[in-house]
Structure 1
């Protein structure tokens, strides 16, 4: 890995309103990572086609994600912010990876099983092949690290499988062209072109749960608005949703061991810890033994303090669509240069050009 220049890549799909879970589990980390890494952040609009959004929904959703990136503090000048469909090399490399990935790998993907449900024969090929495009999103920039939530780890593992198989299958030609670096696969050393991308999973709240059911992930597609806090919610909305969040009659425990069988209580403490950039244990030192009638108002005040400036800036940016579009266009131009370098090499490696 040391032979590949460190580079962060991640993408967010433009479907539905971004939630507190998206912010704490992903975007907040994106902002922190740009202080130490070169970063590429993408609105993955091609992925959104798997759920067949209306054209208007897709345009609005793409601008909304871009506005959230900028409002949260991502710098589109020092780093790259763009939408996926503007860089055709993503789709081009995805076809190559469709020919590298194995059916068995894709069949094991739990997200496909969940989204396709029992009617798998009616699911689109795009939904099935989604992980190959995700691998292309990452590897077209030869990204070394991807910030992911627990539910995305399997997709990153498939990305690593694709990279490893490509490197192994074409090792000799990669070496002849002088395009690779020595990499160990099992007991063999091969010439690797693609890095074995590593996940970045950290912080006290990598997985934020529903405010109505602490066993389910907070989702922008949940039919209940009370299950989530949207990034564009007003201060009153945020306070109301936290006030109505499901809890239990017991006071908060004195330590983390007291959360057994209390997923909603643990979720609210996790949210407080993530927003205040502290630990669950430190939150419990302050609030352990206190009732939710004390803790919920404190959490609401903290959430409003942290999220209201982002919501205000998002609304301001969405009123200036020309600015958002120019950021995406500029980012795509810069991303295309990097992606084309990779595709030029890949075509040589495959024998598609010479």
Structure 2
């Protein structure tokens, strides 16, 4: 197999831990919806094996997985156009991850900044899974010979590791089997920040619920959070350059731009010189208009978990149709005997 034979294919996934936020929607899911076309196969996943790198309550994990699936579906991920499943239903992910554990080097893992950030001073006490999960992430991607991965800037290092693993595997075994995957990083809403501190990423695990928009928030809650979002004392500038050094202002403009399918420049052109008393209510109204239908559909889907499970089971079957031949060929290349 040569590079020229790789089917253009997108893979990406989100971890089902905590609730789904506006950051997940604008930074990932909204972009994925737009990638569903005849030009490229799309494979989207709930990466529940990644979730258990830290302890999860089993019942809450199942619920979070279904909620995330509902978020994908309500946002416009079409299970007929895309392959949609949860990771643990495709055991080939874990099988390929072990192969890649034996290809990746410890030094590569030691350079992973996200592990250092998450482990902090307790690195000796965290799970081996948390340390090795970039190898599983590489398996997630390469199990489908994915050629493109839409990621945020904070995940770019993991795609670079995926490229290193693919290149080393191909070199070690003198094959041209795994593609050198390209990260896709674009869009004004790619990194949605905390509504109370514009220097921090919006997180499911933040201390205050006011610092994030949950995709299951009702219209009144969404409006209240945006109206109370931290800003600054200055009006909106005349140019995008005027947002430099104003993280809260930049975050709110970026969110507006992404929700309205505009550029930050276009938003600034419309609201140049406006005070926050004008801009934040406009942002709140826009967010309610765009997000309330998604929230309502998520709630409807969550009322029928059996239907979500059926869709995920069908997606897992489709995923395995792609993954199994790739894993089988990997085993053959490595020299693993199968009777």
> Shorter chain as normaliser: what TM range?
over 0.9
CA deviation digits over 1:221-271, x for unaligned, max 9? 101111100111100010110011001111000101111221000100000
Q: Does 1:109 align with 2:115?
A: no
Q: Following TM superposition, by how much is the alpha carbon of 1:332 offset from its aligned partner in structure 2, in angstroms?
A: 0.5
Mapped partners of 2:257, 2:94: distance in 1: 39
Match of 2:34 among 32, 35, 58: 32
Deviation, 1:42, is: 0.6
Partners of 1:286 and 1:333 in 2: how far apart?
48
Matches within 5 A, 1:307-326: 307-326=291-310
Question: In the alignment, does 2:193 pair up with 1:193?
Answer: no
Aligned counterpart, 1:243: 227
Q: Which segment is superposed worse, 202-211 or 155-164?
A: 202-211
* From 45, 48, 52, the counterpart of 2:51: 48
Listed as ranges, the matches of 1:161-180 within 5 Å are: 161-171=164-174
Residue of structure 2 in register with 1:141 after alignment: 144
Paired with 1:109 and 1:135, the residues of 2 have a C-alpha distance of 13
Alignment of 1:84-163 (within 5 A): 84-163=87-166
Counterparts of 2:60 and 2:148, CA distance in 1: 30
How many residue pairs are counted as aligned between the two chains?
335
Q: What TM-score does the superposition give when structure 1 sets the normalisation length?
A: 0.93
SS in structure 1 opposite 2:321? helix
Cα distance in 2 for partners of 1:266, 1:140 equals 38
Alignment partners' CA distance in 2, 1:34 and 1:78: 6
**Is 1:253 aligned to residue 237 of structure 2?**
yes
3-state DSSP of counterpart to 1:161: helix
What is the DSSP-based 3-state SS (H/G/I as helix, E as strand, rest coil) of the residue aligned with 2:121? coil
1:296 correspondence with 2:288: no
Which of 47, 61, 65 in structure 1 is aligned with 2:64?
A: 61
Aligned with 2:13: secondary structure? Answer: strand
1:288-320 residue CA offsets vs partner (Å, 9 max, x unmatched): 101000000100000000000000000000001
Residue 253 of structure 2 is matched in structure 1 by: 269
Report Cα offsets for 1:36-77 as digits up to 9, x if no partner: 421111110100101211100110010011101100011101
Secondary structure of residue in 2 paired with 1:118: helix
Output the CA distance in 1 between the equivalents of 2:83 and 2:288: 29
Cα offset, 1:353, TM superposition: 3.1
Mapped partners of 2:160, 2:169: distance in 1? 14
Give a deviation string over 1:90-147, Cα, whole Å, max 9, x none: 0000000000000000001011001111111111100000000000001011110111
Aligned counterparts of 1:111 and 1:261: Cα–Cα separation in 2: 25
> What pairs up with 1:212-223 in 2 under 5 angstroms?
212-223=196-207
User: CA separation in 2, counterparts of 1:159 and 1:78?
Assistant: 26
The 8 Å contact of residues 54 and 127 in structure 2, kept in 1 or not, is answered as: no
For residue 102 of structure 2, give the secondary structure of its aligned residue in structure 1: helix
- RMSD over aligned Cα atoms: 0.9
Question: Offset of 1:2 from its aligned partner?
Answer: 3.7
Distance in 2 (CA, whole Å) between partners of 1:289 and 1:118 is 45
Distance 2:188 2:85 in 1: 29
TM-score of the pair, normalised by structure 2: 0.97
